[in-house]
Each structure stands twice: as structure tokens, then as C-alpha cells.
Amino acid sequence: MIKTPTITRSELIETLVEKQPHLAHRDVELAVKAVLERMGNAFEEGDRIEIRGFGSFSLHYRPARVGRNPKTGESVSVEDKFSPHFKPGKELKERVDSVNS
């Protein structure tokens, strides 16, 4: 299995501060937190989030079903739920494809 690098919220903030030295660290931190908070609120309200050139976030409905406990093989009832879904935009797909070429 290939291990993929992960960027954390604090690493994102540090990167933005480095690229935008005229902005105070605290201001960048507050902006990132505000964006993530707004996205979370949008999901709670059932809204779709679209960031042009990057992609869109939406909720997908998962109906109730009968699953299996992987340890015991016993049948387990799984309730219906919504799960977040990300669909990359055209520009992001092209950027990713150019890295893998």
C-alpha cells in the first residue's frame, strides 16, 4: 500500500502564512477556521458546497441495510445515514493527471 502525505490544518495555515507574509499568522488561522466552520455548517443544513476550479462537496444518502460484523460474521443492522462526498472539478482533475503522467 502506498502511503500518501497528509496536510494538517496547522500545516495549511503555516503554508499560507509563508506565501502571504503581509498577513498576520492569527488572521490566517482565523480565516482557515472560519472557512472550515462554514463548510461544516453548510453540511449540517444539507447544502452543497462548490468551489470553482477545485470541486464540490455534497451529502450522499446511504439507505439502511444489513451488514456483517467482520470479526464474527454476525448480521448487524446498519441505520440509514448521510455521508460527505467530494467530486473534483475539471481543473483539479487535470492537475492531478499531469502529476501522474
Each residue's pLDDT, cut to its tens digit, for the chain (101 residues) gives 566 789 999 999 999 999 999 999 999 999 999 999 999 999 999 999 999 999 999 999 999 999 999 999 999 999 999 999 999 999 999 998 888 66
Task: Record the cell numbers describing residue 91, joined without a space.
Answer: 481543473
Residues 50, 54, 59, 60, Cα dihedral to 10°: 130
Give me the phi and psi of 53, to 5 degrees please: 85, -15
What domains lie within the chain, and their CATH numbers?
Answer: 8-45 (no CATH), 47-100 (4.10.520.10)
Angle, CA 14 vertex, CA 13 and CA 18 arms, to 5°: 120
